[in-house]
A and B are shown apart, each in its own frame.
Chain A
Amino acid sequence: MGVEQKLGNLGIVTTTLETTVNWARTNAMWPMLFGLACCAIEMMSAQAADYDMSRFGMELMRPSPRQSDLMIVAGRVSRKMAPVLRRLYDQMPEPKWVIAMGDCASCGGVFNNYAVVQGVDEVVPVDVYVAGCPPRPEALIHGVVTLFEKVKGEKFKDLVKA
């Protein structure tokens, strides 16, 4: 199916603004280059040649939180790191999403002890949890695609803060 069939002779397509905005958001989502531990290496693998996350409009990892709209918490979050993580999250501009990558970020994983935050959802609100220790790059990509599905369903009225 070519685009002409959709556009018709007039070259016009009608859609809702919500759909367009959400489409734009999903297709250029810039994740923050935020590696913590083992999962960061798998996140790098996901960026590298074999898995190539740029197919999903995500080749641009931004080191600065102020230029990114997705935080992939890749690894265990220690009690010392938690305030830093929250601060980085607060610095990100709206709208912003969080993926908790791996078991440690999701629920503490094998580290059930004094030093590790038992799930990063105690520090920042999480949209998608990716299981695995560490998750394979495919699993991360699946998590990202799941997030896209979520973003596509977002309504403007939900984004307005009370």
Chain B
Amino acid sequence: MSEYQLQEIPVGPYRHLVSERAVSGETMLLNMGPQHPSTHGVLRLLLELDGEVVVNCIPDIGFLHTGVEKNMEAKTYQKAEVMTDRLDYMNNMGNNLAYVMAVEKLVDLDVPPRAQALRVILTELQRIASHLVWLGTSGLDLAAMSMFLYCFREREIILDIFELVSGQRMMVTYFRPGGVWRDVPVEFEAAVRNFIKIFPKRIDEYEALLTKNPLWLDRMVGIGKLDAATALQHGVTGPMLRASGVNWDLRKTRPYAGYEQYDFNVPVETKGDTYARYIVRVQELRESLKIVEQALNKLPLGPVHSDNRKFVPPPRSEIGTSMEALIHHFKLWTEGFPAPKASVYSAIESPRGELGVYLEGDGGPKPYRVHWRTPSFDNLSVISKIVKGHLVADLIAILASTDIVLGDIDR
């Protein structure tokens, strides 16, 4: 154990990021993470502290760098999709959607309305699940442990629905270029209706526990204020931007997957503090549930994937009878489909903000370059601005309110 004694962090490499007082030793450099219960993953924060007040905060990321972008270049368009689930592991359906939308835009593929509606239902359920994990873990960070147990109880219902449709709880890979993997089973509607029935009461329960709880308010109101101009300068999107008073939601401003058919509000707060972010997300839970209900009510019948056989494998029944179908199936799964030599950028509103995919093809069956514009990356970059002058305990509240996912940041 002797080789792991306390080590002093040298100021040298961080000289341009810390204040003069750190050099003279007046303030202390403290390492938080990468193994820390409140960093929501493997994030390292280098803090310059004056007593318990944060003078500077230097995030160090990359501890979960997985090489997804490089790995996707080595796989065909269909096979690369499994990588997308594992990026932002709270928003698997959303990542699938962002990726398949980019592929569909690149090769100009149509998606039937039933598949679009299913995509909306499942991504909105995923948004609820993601916000539930956020609410549960934030509660845990701020000493409201029962929130964690309640939120995970409801999340299990959503994961059961995902398992019903895709066979997996988290890494679903359910959306495919041109539609979805296969139609939902008959039990799907009843399962979602059951969730729609019980969930509003559960949100009321969470709100009764937290929204006016004096301890919760003390930890959150006025903490970590972020104004709209700084947020935009730092590329912050999603609930964090909307809590700062900017009404920007890609589901409204650039509707995709048929979001324009549904009636929902975009919750906007103006205070920009930790509490405002909490309010925005809790209201989003209700709005998402509204979308799910509307989409389920008018879920159209019909095919769930495009019948363009150049990109979508033929149904099982056709393979037995049609030679052409067999060839298509074989070609699609051995070679993949070619995409034009061009690039597209397509973005969706993930639970954390704008999740964009830059996809470039080179005429072959593999992507030439995939870049993920991930919301947590930018949302975290602003943290060094907003924690200045707060206590270390407030840093926990601020970090919880940014709702970062390290898989999303490090890719």
Interface residues of A in 66-112 (CB under 8 A from B): 75-76, 78, 80-81, 84, 87-88, 90-91, 110-112
With beta carbons under 8 angstroms apart, the residue of A35, A36, A90 that contacts B4 is A90
CB contacts (< 8 Å) of B407 on chain A: these are: 37-38
Q: Which of B82-90, B208-216, B226-234, B248-256 contacts A (4 or more CB under 8 A)?
A: B82-90
Residue A143 at the chain B interface, CB threshold 8 Å = no
CB contacts (< 8 Å) of B71 on chain A: these are: 110-113
Q: Which of A11-19, A41-49, A154-162 contacts B (4 or more CB under 8 A)?
A: A41-49
Contact yes or no, B83 A110, CB < 8 A: yes
Q: Which of B45-53, B60-68, B330-338, B363-371 contacts A (4 or more CB under 8 A)?
A: B60-68
Interface residues of B in 1-52 (CB under 8 A from A): 1, 4, 34-37, 41-42
CB contacts (< 8 Å) of A42 on chain B: these are: 169-170
Contact yes or no, A50 B67, CB < 8 A: no
Residue A133 at the chain B interface, CB threshold 8 Å = yes
State which size class the interface on A falls in: 35 or more
Contact residues of A: prevailing secondary structure: loop
Complex alpha-carbon distance, A50 and B169, angstroms? 14
Residue B275 at the chain A interface, CB threshold 8 Å = no
With beta carbons under 8 angstroms apart, the residue of B41, B83, B148, B159 that contacts A35 is B41
Residue B193 at the chain A interface, CB threshold 8 Å = no
Complex alpha-carbon distance, A94 and B36, angstroms? 21
Contact yes or no, A78 B35, CB < 8 A: no
Interface residues of B in 144-195 (CB under 8 A from A): 148-150, 152-153, 155-156, 159, 169-171
Binary A-proximity of B113-134 (CB < 8 A = 1, otherwise 0): 0000000000000000000010
Contact yes or no, A115 B171, CB < 8 A: no
Contact yes or no, B35 A37, CB < 8 A: no
Contact yes or no, B35 A88, CB < 8 A: yes
CB contacts (< 8 Å) of B1 on chain A: these are: 90-91
Binary B-proximity of A38-60 (CB < 8 A = 1, otherwise 0): 10111011001110000000000
CB contacts (< 8 Å) of B387 on chain A: these are: none
Contact (A78, B406) CB under 8 Å given A41-B133, A48-B148: no
Contact yes or no, A110 B41, CB < 8 A: no
| Residue in chain B with minimal CB distance to A110 | B82
| Residue in chain B with minimal CB distance to A40 | B41
CB contacts (< 8 Å) of B90 on chain A: these are: 41
Complex alpha-carbon distance, A78 and B68, angstroms? 12
Contact (A115, B67) CB under 8 Å given A37-B89, A63-B37: yes
Complex alpha-carbon distance, A5 and B42, angstroms? 51
With beta carbons under 8 angstroms apart, the residue of A33, A81, A114 that contacts B64 is A81
| Residue in chain B with minimal CB distance to A48 | B152
With beta carbons under 8 angstroms apart, the residue of B63, B68, B152, B169 that contacts A44 is B152
| Residue in chain B with minimal CB distance to A66 | B1
Question: Could you pull out 5 A-B pairs where Cβ atoms are within 8 angstroms?
Answer: A45-B159, A48-B156, A78-B66, A111-B86, A133-B171
Query: Which residues of chain B have a CB within 8 Å of any CB of chain A?
Result: 1, 4, 34-37, 41-42, 62-68, 70-71, 82-83, 86, 89-90, 133, 136-137, 148-150, 152-153, 155-156, 159, 169-171, 406-407, 410
Nearest 6 Cβ contacts at the A-B interface: A48-B152, A115-B67, A38-B89, A63-B37, A113-B67, A81-B63
